[in-house]
Structure formats: C-alpha cells, structure tokens
A and B are shown apart, each in its own frame.
Chain A
Amino acid sequence: MKLAAFKAAAVALVLAVSPASAQDRLLNVSYDVSRELFEKLNPVFAQAWKAQSGRDVTIEQSHAGSSKQARSILEGLPADVVTFNQETDVEMLAKGGMVAEDWRAAFPNNASPYYSMPAFLVREGNPKNINNWSDLARDDVQVVFPNPRTSGNGRYTYLAAYAFALRENGGDAEAAQAFVRKIMENVPVFDTGGRAATQTFVEREIGDVLVTFETETRQIAAQYADRGLVAVTPPVSLFSAFPVAVVTENTDRNGTTELATAYLNWLYSPEAQRILAENGNRVNDETVKAEFADKFPQVELLTVEDVFGGWDKIQSEHLAVGGILDKVFVNR
C-alpha cells in the first residue's frame, strides 16, 4: 500500500516536471554559476513566447563548467542553445561542427548579450584601500583568485592584470611580467575554481581581496550581506564576453531553430536586459543602461583582441607549456 502511494507520488512528480510533449521545449546548456540568473529569465521569456507564438515553452537548464559542457555537447548532450562564459568554448563547438562558423555574427555585440570584467571584492570598509590593479601588487596585500591554469575565471584575472601592466608600462612586456609575478606571489592559495576561491575568501577569511567577475562580486556581497563585503570595480579592466549560440546541429534535427533563435534574441530585449543588469551584469541596451547608471561605475575596458590579438595568440604565447603564464606562475 505504502509502495503504491510512493509510486503514485513518483509518477505525479515525473509528470509534474516533464510536461506533455505538445509543448515547445528548449535545452539551454550554460556555465556553472548561472542557475539563478536563468531561473529568473526563463519564465519571462516563456510569457513573451506565448504572447508572440501562442505556444507554451519549457526551458530546461544544464549547468557545469563551460569547457566540460562544450565537451558533453560534442559527445551528444542535446543542447539547443549555449550560454557560456568563455568564447573559446563556443569556438570549440564551432570547430566540432555543432555551431555555425560565424556564430559571432549571428547576434548583436559579437553574440554577447551581456558582459562583465574582473573586479574586486574587499573586506568591510576596504581597510587596505584596494581600488586598482596596482594595489594587488603591494607587499601588504593578500590576493585570492582561482588557478589560471584550471579556471577560466582565474585566466581572465591573470589576463586583466597583464593587460593593465602593459598599459601602465607603455607596452613593456618584461615589466608587465614582473608585475603579474608580484601579484601571483601575493596569492596564498590557488583554488581550482571560482567557487572554491570564494569559499577561501569568505568562509575561511583568507586574503584581503578576491578577484572575480564584477557580477560575481555583487552576488557574493549580497549573499553574505552580514559580512559587509564591498564590491570594488577598478578603473581599468578586461572585457569578459558571455557568448551565446544556437547549436544548429541539434536544432535542425529537433526543429527548434526558430525557437532557439528567438530565445537568444530575446536576451537583448529591454525586459531581459533589465533582469541581467539587476543581477550585476553589464548590458548594451541604452534605456536599461541609463536606468542602472548609478549601479555600475565607469570602467575603461580593454579587449582580448586589442591587447593580445585574440584567443589563439593567448593560447600560444601565454597558456602553452613554457609560455608567459609558466614564467610568472613560479613555485606553484
């Protein structure tokens, strides 16, 4: 009897979470820390889609590190769209024939509906007065960010510091390397990922400053409001794209190309941009930008293309074995 009741409950549960097949459905494969963001976005899109097409849509979400996600899609994870935080991972899908070669041209702003940049999170009252990248190289400052070898987040931090130093020193690569090495020496522990680094900084209370994406600094500060952590955006940083793409190889088969395209286009609409901005992401929509102007301080953004000549060059000059990262990442 009990078993029967359990079975009934289980069946009800399955029915409740896997709606009838008459509905449109879309699988959005995303990076590891975007769950709450899309939990807010998806129901609003569902309403918009209903109004536009008269059809119901269920959006399923998968979250993990975006490199792992790209790998899974290549092996058959049936993603209709990807919303990633690393361009290189979309590039991997393009090389594997899952995504159009010219995916950057398919949507505005190089297919990046929102963006961010490495920024700082400091202790209550900013006691060490940390406001710019040069402060991270001071002898009295301990810096926390994840390992640039294993974490895309850490890689952006490394590149942002390097780009800052290049600019400060008029393009002198030697000086830039010395500067980044100094910051690396100020890191007491390199965690493998962004969340572990957050734990180190917040829960274990190690370090004076955590470096992570601006959107993350705000979410962490809000989550641990009782700690009084302060999000600080430096005056200069590195543009970090959050690229999106339709996985055409799958949508052609699923007949979801139109829906997938509509979903990603909708991310550029004012109502979506507002939700994105509310969650600490920078957006391009002029109206929404004006609404949130006082929330986002002015920042001069350098780009991977301008400073480094693109991701391929970063790979060969910085990240490859024996590259610049290996030189400045000593004794680790």
Chain B
Amino acid sequence: MTRALLIGLAVVTTAIFVVVPLVYIFVQALGAGWSAYAANIMHPLTLHAIWMTTLVAVIVVPVTVAFGIGAAWLLSKFQFRGRGLLITLIELPFSISPIIAGICYLLLYGRQGWLGGFLARHDLDVLFALPGIVMVTMFVTTPFVVREVLPLMQAQGSDQEQAAVTLGASGWQLFRRVTLPNIRWALLYGAVLATARAVGEYGGVAIVSGSIRGKTNTLPLHVELLFNDLNAAGAFAAATVLTMIALVVLVAKTVLEHRR
C-alpha cells in the first residue's frame, strides 16, 4: 500500500515537474505547424546560436576531459601537501553559482578590470567574444570529469600500472593500454555530463556574452531573447533543439550507466 502510494507520488511529481513542461515545449513549438517550426529553426540567427553552442561545447569538453584525466591521475597516484585543498578547489564550481563566475570574469577582464587595460592595449578580445564564453563555460564544467574518474582510479589502485612498468611499458603505452581502458566508461560518462552542462549554461554566459545576435549569442540566450520578443513560437522552437540535445545526452548517459 505504502509502496503503491510512493510510486504514485513519484510518478505524479515527475509528470508535473518534468514530463508536462517537456511535452508543452513541443506542443507550443509545433502549434503553428511543421513549416512554421522549420522556418523558426532555420532562421539564420537561430542557426548561428545553435552553431555557437555547438562550438563552445566542442572546445570546452575536450579540455575538460584532458584536465579531468590529468587531475585525477595526479590526485590518485600521488600524495602531497595541499591535495585535499586542490580537490576542494576543483569541485568549487559545483557550489558556486555560474553568475558569480561571470561577474568575476567581468571585473577581471573588463575594460575597467585588472587585466582589461592590458588586453585592450594588445587588441585581445576576451569578454563579449568567444574566449570569454568558453572560459566561463569551462569554469562550470571542470569538475565533471574529475569527479567521475577520480574515485575509480583510487579504487583501482596502481597495481596494474606497476605490473605494466615492470614489463617494460613506456609512459604512453601505460596510459593507452592500461589506464585509459580502465577508466573509459567513467571518462565518457563525465564527458557526457560536461556536454550537457556546457550546452545548457546560461547565467555565467549571459554576463560575459554581450548577446550580440549572430555573433556571441548562444542557444539558451537566444531562447530568452525570442521569449522577450513575445515570439513564443520561435522561443519554443529553439528550446526544442536544446531539449533534443538534452534527450540525446540522457540516452547516452543511460547507456553508459549500463556499460559501466
């Protein structure tokens, strides 16, 4: 009885908070028909926003992965002073709102900021350009791969690696033949989570992007812009793209969870 009640409660809650809004996005987006929907998606500025978001993810995720492997390796194989502090620092973005990161970057790299004068003298665009968006997104995604890989590396210990070294493996061989295969599912899982986070990032990017349409507007920013225009159909159409990316990520995540 209690069990049925709890299941019912879970289903109803999920329906109210997740399923209904998701369905509503598609209903609204397709409300004016498929051709209107296609026209909304194919609008050059919407396409550009999709491209920006893709580009940011394509830059950010590999860096997050490389950083994640390196940091997890360092933290699991070596003991050193400040190790605990380093782990805390790496995980800090989980507990800091991205908007704080955005404001810090604004105050640091902005025209009136510490580094602003230097950047302006050398004609380097960081804020209100791709580098700023990438940096803020990176801030948000850094912990994802480390968090997934580190516990695994710690649990596995270094026995296999020691054996490989004894057998004469070089550093690269060791990494490619022993370490990587051991962590690959955790690594992919972390990368998938980082992708989802990078694609959906709004708060921090909203501060540093400058929202220049066709230039620095990412998909989440574009959705808000269209919404502000009372262009609900366009906003919902753009939102379906984000939703579909999220669904693909969800499926990838579920598959990976089984393989792990």
Which residues of chain A have a CB within 8 Å of any CB of chain B?
Answer: 10, 13-14, 16-18, 27, 29, 32-33, 35-36, 60-64, 72, 74-78, 195, 198, 219-220, 223
Q: Chain A nearest CB: distance from B223 CB in Å?
A: 13
In the complex, number of A-B residue pairs with CB atoms less than 8 Å apart: 77
Chain B, interface size category, equals 20 to 34
- Asked if A75 and B228 make an inter-chain contact with CB atoms under 8 angstroms apart, the answer reads no
B222-248 interface bits toward A, Cβ cutoff 8 Å, 1 = contact, 0 = none: 000101111100000000000000000
6 A-B pairs whose Cβ atoms sit less than 8 Å apart in the complex: A10-B51, A13-B44, A17-B214, A61-B212, A64-B206, A76-B128
From A17, A29, A33, give the contact of B228 (CB < 8 A): A33
Shortest Cβ distance from A220 into B: residue: B230
Question: Are B215 and A75 within 8 A (Cβ)?
Answer: no
Nearest residue in B to A10 (C-beta to C-beta)? B51
B70 CB within 8 Å of chain A: no
In the assembled complex, B182 has its CB within 8 A of some CB on chain A: no
Give chain B residues whose Cβ lies under 8 Å from the Cβ of A29: 210
A60 x B229 contact (CB < 8 A): no
* Chain B, 48-63, CB within 8 A of any chain A CB: 48, 51, 54-55
A64 vs B209: C-alpha distance in the bound complex, in angstroms?
A: 11
Asked whether B51 lies within 8 Å of A14 as measured between CB atoms, the reply is yes
Q: B230 touching A223 by the CB < 8 A rule?
A: yes
Tell which of B48, B210, B225 touches A77, judged by Cβ atoms closer than 8 Å: B210
**Given known A-B contacts A33-B229, A61-B212, A63-B213, A16 and B44 have beta carbons under 8 A apart:** yes
Contacts of A35 in B (CB 8 A): 213, 225, 228-229
Given contacts A13-B47, A77-B128, A223-B230, contact A62 B214 (CB under 8 A): no
Please judge, given known A-B contacts A60-B213, A60-B215, whether A75 and B116 are in contact too, CB under 8 Å: yes
Which residue of the partner chain A has the closest CB to B110? Answer: A75
**B47 touching A60, Cβ below 8 Å:** no
> Which residues of chain B are near A33, meaning CB under 8 Å?
228-230
Chain B positions within 8 Å of A76 at CB level: 110-111, 116, 120, 127-128
In Å, the complex CA distance between A300 and B38 comes to: 46
Instruction: Say yes or no: A195-B48 contact (C-beta < 8 A), given A18-B214, A27-B212.
Output: no
Q: Is the CB of B51 within 8 A of A75?
A: no
A72 in contact with B128 (CB, 8 Å): yes
Which residues of A have CB within 8 Å of B44?
Answer: 13, 16-17
| Chain A contacts for B48, CB-based, 8 A | 13-14, 17
Q: Is B106 an interface residue, CB under 8 A from the partner? A: yes
A17–B107 alpha-carbon span in the complex (Å): 30
- The distance in angstroms between the C-alpha atoms of A20 and B154, with both chains bound, is 53
Query: Which residues in B have their C-beta under 8 angstroms from that of A198?
Result: 230
Are B230 and A219 in contact, with the CB atoms below 8 A?
yes
Given A72-B128, A75-B111, A75-B127: A195 touches B228 (CB 8 Å cut-off): yes
B112 with A32: CB separation less than 8 A: no
Assembly CA distance A72 to B51 (angstroms): 24
- Verify if B27 is at the interface (C-beta below 8 Å from A): no
Q: In this assembly, does B25 line the interface, its C-beta being within 8 Å of a C-beta of chain A? A: no
Chain B residue at minimal CB-CB distance from A79? B210
When C-beta atoms are compared, the residue in chain B nearest to A78 turns out to be B128
A64 to B222, CA, bound (A): 11
Residue of B nearest to A203 (CB): B232
In the complex, chain A residues whose CB is within 8 Å of the CB of B107: 75
B157 within 8 Å of A by Cβ?
A: no
Closest partner residue, chain A, to B212 (CB atom)? A62
B164 contacts partner chain A, Cβ-Cβ < 8 Å: no
Contact of A60 among B55, B116, B212 (CB under 8 A): B212
Instruction: Indicate the member of B48, B206, B210, B231 with the most A CB atoms within 10 Å.
Output: B210
B residues 84-124 near A (Cβ < 8 Å) are: 106-107, 110-113, 116, 120
Q: Select A61's contact among B111, B113, B213, B228, beta carbons within 8 Å.
A: B213
Q: Tell me, rounded to whole Å, the shortest Cβ–Cβ distance linking A3 to chain B.
A: 11
B95 shortest CB reach to chain A, Å: 25
Are the C-beta atoms of A74 and B111 separated by less than 8 Å? Answer: yes
B169 interface residue, CB < 8 Å from A?
Answer: no
**With A13-B44, A60-B215, A198-B230 given, can you name 12 additional A-B contacts, CB distance below 8 Å?**
A10-B54, A17-B47, A18-B214, A27-B212, A32-B228, A33-B228, A60-B214, A61-B212, A64-B211, A72-B128, A75-B110, A75-B116
Other-chain contact of B213, A14, A62, A72 (Cβ < 8 Å): A62
Which 4 A-B residue pairs are closest in the complex by CB-CB distance? A75-B110, A76-B111, A77-B210, A17-B214
Closest chain B residue to A33, Cβ basis: B228
A-chain residues with CB within 8 Å of residue B47 when the two chains form the complex: 13, 17
Bound complex: CA A198 to CA B229 (Å): 11
Minimum Cβ distance to chain B for residue A144 (Å): 16
B152 contacts chain A at the CB level, 8 A cutoff = no
Contact of A63 among B54, B112, B120, B225 (CB under 8 A): B225
Q: How far is the CA of A62 from the CA of B211 in the complex (A)?
A: 5
Residues of B within 8 A of A72 (CB): 106, 128, 210
Question: B188: CB under 8 A from chain A?
Answer: no
- Please give the distance in Å from B3's CB to the nearest CB on chain A: 37
Task: Indicate if B36 sits at the interface (CB-CB under 8 A).
Answer: no
